[in-house]
Structure 1
Amino acid sequence: MHSHGHSHRNDVEQQAHPVANRLQMLWAVCLTGGFMVVEVIGGLISGSLALLADAGHMLTDTAALLLAFYAMTLSAKPADNKRTFGYGRLQVLAAYTNGMFLLALTGWIVWESIERFYEPNPIKSGTMLTVAILGLVVNLIVFKVLHSSSQSNINIRSAMLHVLGDLLGSVGAIIAALIIWQWQLLWVDPLLSIFVSILILRSAYHVIKDSSHILLEGKPQEFDTQEIKRNLMELEGVVDIHHMHLWSISEQEPLMTFHAMIGERYDNDKMIDQMLGLLRNRHGLAHATIQIERNACLEDTTQVACADEASN
C-alpha cells in the first residue's frame, strides 16, 4: 500500500481571517452606510440630483462591503463533513462577485455621464462642495481602515476598490463643484465621472483576474513548481517527483499534492518528514500531501495507476 504524508497549520495559523479584519470591515460598513444617509438627506434638502445619485452609489458600496463582511464571517467557520476544506473560499467568491458588480457599476456611470453631456442637470455647487468634502474625509478614514489588511486578503482588496471609487469620486466632485461654482461648466461633472470610472475599471479587472485564478485552481503566483521539484529531487533518496499539483483555497492557504518515488533502502516516514520540512522552511508551504512510491506510475490516456509499495 502507499504511504501518505500531511502537513497542516496549527489552529491559530489556519484562522486566515482574524477577528481584527472583520472589525475593520464592520467599521467600513458603518461609516459608508452612515454617510450614505447623510448624502440622501443633503440631496433631499438641496434638491441636488447629483448628490442623490452619489447616495445610490454609496448604497451599492455599502452592500458590497456587507457582502465582504458576511463572507469573512462565514469563512471563519471550521471545516465540517460538508465542507472539508472549510469556508475560506467564500472570500474569494465574494471578491469575484464584487469585481463583476464593479464592472456593471462603472458601465452605468459611463452611460449616465454620456447622457449628462447632452442633458446636463442643474447642480447647486455650494451644497455639492460641502457634501463632497465630508465624503472625502469619510472615505479617507474607511480607506485607511481597510488598507492595512488589503495586501494579504483579496476580499478586503475588492471591497477597498469600492471605497477607492468613492474616494476618487469625492475628489472629482470637489473639483467639479469648484469649477461649476466659478465658471458654470456643467460638463465637467460627467467628464470627471468617466475618468474615475476608467480608474475603477482597471482595478476591478485585476480583482476579477486574481479571484478567478484561485477559483479555477490556478497555481499561486509566488510559487515556482519547477524550483520546488528541483529542490525535492536534491534530497538523498528521492528518485522522482511527479503528479505535482499546487493550488489554493484562498490567498492565505496554498495547498500541494505530489507523488514521490524513493529508493528501496530509505524509510517512508523519514523521507516524508524531510520533504515536508523542505516545503515548509524553504517555500512556506505548510499544507502538503505526499504519496510515497517504490515503483514507477503506469500511465495511459484514461487513467493513472501506480504500483503498490512492496511489503517490508
Structure 2
Amino acid sequence: MQVEVVGTAGAKHAKKLSWALAMTATYMVAEVIGGLVTGSLALLADAAHMLTDVGGLALALLAIRFAARAATPQRTFGYLRIEVLSALANAVVLLLLTVYILYEAYQRFLSPPEVMSGPMLLVAAIGLAVNLISMRLLSSGSSESLNVKGAYFEVLSDMLGSVGVTIAALLMMWKGWVLADPIIGAGIGLFIVPRTWSLLSQVTHILMEGTPLNVDVSSIEAKLLMIPGTVAVHDLHVWTLTSGFDAMSCHLVVADLSTGREALRAVRGIMKNDYQIDHTTIQIEDETLRAEEIVLQV
C-alpha cells in the first residue's frame, strides 16, 4: 500500500528544540550543584522544576520524530497526533508543577530556609540567561505548533523561576526579607496557570475534533452552495489533526452528476485558496442518492 508522509508544523523546529534541551539539561545539573553548595531549597526546587522541563522538551522531540513516520494501513494518518498528545502531557505536567510550587511556597512561608544568597543570585542569573536564549529559539515555533508551544511554556516557566529566585536572592541580600522566597514562588505558580490552561484548552479542542478557531463552517457552507449546480451541502466537518494540518470532509448534492467533476474542482479550490486546507474528502451525490442515504441512516 502506497502511503503519503505528511510533515508537521513542529518538525522544522526540531533543531532549536534540541539546542533548548541541551542548554536546559546542562543548567539543571549546574543548579543542583549550586543548590547543594548554597543550601538553597529554592534552587533545588527550581532544579526539580527544570527536570520536568527536560522531560517535556525530550518528549516534544520524540513526538516530532514519531510524527514523521509514514502512515500504515492500521494508522492511516500515521503518528501525527503524537504531537498533540505530547502537548497534552506538557500541559498536565505544568499544572501539577504549579500545585507543587504553591505547596512549596506555603511550606517556606511557614519556615523560611537559611540560604547563601550571594551564590544563589549568581546561579539564578546564569539560569535566567540560559532560559532567555531557549525562549528566543522556540518563540517562532510556539505560534505554529502546539507541541513547540508546550515546550516554550516549559522554558517560560523556567525563566519565571529564575526571575523569582533572582529577586528573592536580592531581597534577602539587601533587606534580609526571608519571606521573599515563598511569596515570589506563589506568584510564579499563579502566573503559569492561565497560560497552561489555554494550552490545555487548545489541545482538548483538537482531541474533541473541534473546528479550527480560524475557520467558520457556516461561511464554508455558504460558499459551497454558490457553486453552480449545487443543491445542498451536508455532513460538513472541519477539524485539526495536528498543528498546521487541518482537514475537511462533506457531502455535496448536485442537480446533475455529470457536473460532479467541475463541482469537485470548485470545492478543492475554495478550501485551498480561502482556508488553506489541502486535505479534503468530498462525496458528490444527486438528490436520488441523497434520499437513499437518508433511508439507510434511519
TM-score normalised to structure 2 length: 0.94
Counterpart among 95, 108, 122 of residue 114 in structure 2: 122
- Cα distance in 1, alignment partners of residues 34 and 11 from structure 2: 35
Cα distance, 1:44 vs structure 2 = 2.1
**Distance change in 2, residues 1:180/1:280 (3 Å):** same
In the alignment, which residue of structure 1 is the partner of 2:225? 233
In the alignment, which residue of structure 2 is the partner of 1:68? 60
In the alignment, which residue of structure 1 is the partner of 2:135? 143
Cα distance, 1:299 vs structure 2 = 8.8
CA deviation map 1:256-276 (0-9, x unaligned): 111101112642222211111
In the alignment, which residue of structure 2 is the partner of 1:247? 239
CA deviation map 1:99-150 (0-9, x unaligned): 0111111001101101111111112110110001000000000000111111
CA deviation map 1:274-304 (0-9, x unaligned): 1111111122111111111111634999962
Counterpart among 153, 159, 172 of residue 161 in structure 1: 153
More displaced, 244-253 or 258-267?
258-267
CA deviation map 1:199-228 (0-9, x unaligned): 111111001000011011111111001000
- Cα distance in 2, alignment partners of residues 42 and 18 from structure 1: 34
Structure 1 unaligned runs (5+)?
A: 1-9, 306-312
Counterpart among 68, 90, 114 of residue 82 in structure 2: 90
Q: 1:150·1:156 contact (CA, 8 Å) conserved in 2? A: yes
**Distance change in 2, residues 1:173/1:62 (3 Å):** same
Q: Which amino acid aligns with 2:191?
A: L
Q: Which amino acid aligns with 1:304?
A: Q
Q: 1:17·1:76 contact (CA, 8 Å) conserved in 2? A: no
CA deviation map 1:55-104 (0-9, x unaligned): 11111110111111111111111211221011111111110111011111
Counterpart among 283, 295, 304 of residue 297 in structure 2: 304
1:201 and 2:208 are equivalent in the alignment = no
Q: Which amino acid aligns with 1:167?
A: M
- Within 5 Å, which residues of 2 pair with 1:50-69? 50-69=42-61
- Cα distance in 2, alignment partners of residues 303 and 128 from structure 1: 71
CA deviation map 1:222-250 (0-9, x unaligned): 10010001011111111111111111111
- Cα distance in 2, alignment partners of residues 299 and 162 from structure 1: 53
- Cα distance in 2, alignment partners of residues 220 and 268 from structure 1: 27
Q: 2:10·2:145 contact (CA, 8 Å) conserved in 1? A: no
Q: Which amino acid aligns with 1:82?
A: Q
Greater helix share, structure number = 2
Structure 2 unaligned runs (5+)?
A: none
Q: 1:140·1:167 contact (CA, 8 Å) conserved in 2? A: yes
Cα distance, 1:152 vs structure 2 = 0.8
Cα distance, 1:20 vs structure 2 = 3.5
CA deviation map 1:153-182 (0-9, x unaligned): 001111111110111111111111111001
- Within 5 Å, which residues of 2 pair with 1:175-214? 175-214=167-206
Q: 2:38·2:115 contact (CA, 8 Å) conserved in 1? A: no
Q: Give the % identical residues.
A: 36
- Cα distance in 1, alignment partners of residues 140 and 105 from structure 2: 33
- Cα distance in 2, alignment partners of residues 289 and 130 from structure 1: 58
**Distance change in 2, residues 1:74/1:300 (3 Å):** closer
Q: Which amino acid aligns with 1:293?
A: E
- Cα distance in 2, alignment partners of residues 290 and 301 from structure 1: 17
Q: Which amino acid aligns with 1:79?
A: A
More displaced, 213-222 or 274-283?
274-283
1:40 and 2:29 are equivalent in the alignment = no
Q: 1:220·1:254 contact (CA, 8 Å) conserved in 2? A: yes
Matched position secondary structure for 1:191 = helix
TM-score normalised to structure 1 length: 0.90
Query: How many residues end up aligned between the 2 structures?
Result: 294
Cα distance, 1:255 vs structure 2 = 0.8
Counterpart among 264, 269, 275 of residue 277 in structure 1: 269
Counterpart among 1, 12, 15 of residue 23 in structure 1: 15
1:77 and 2:60 are equivalent in the alignment = no
- Cα distance in 1, alignment partners of residues 76 and 226 from structure 2: 33
Q: 1:298·1:304 contact (CA, 8 Å) conserved in 2? A: no
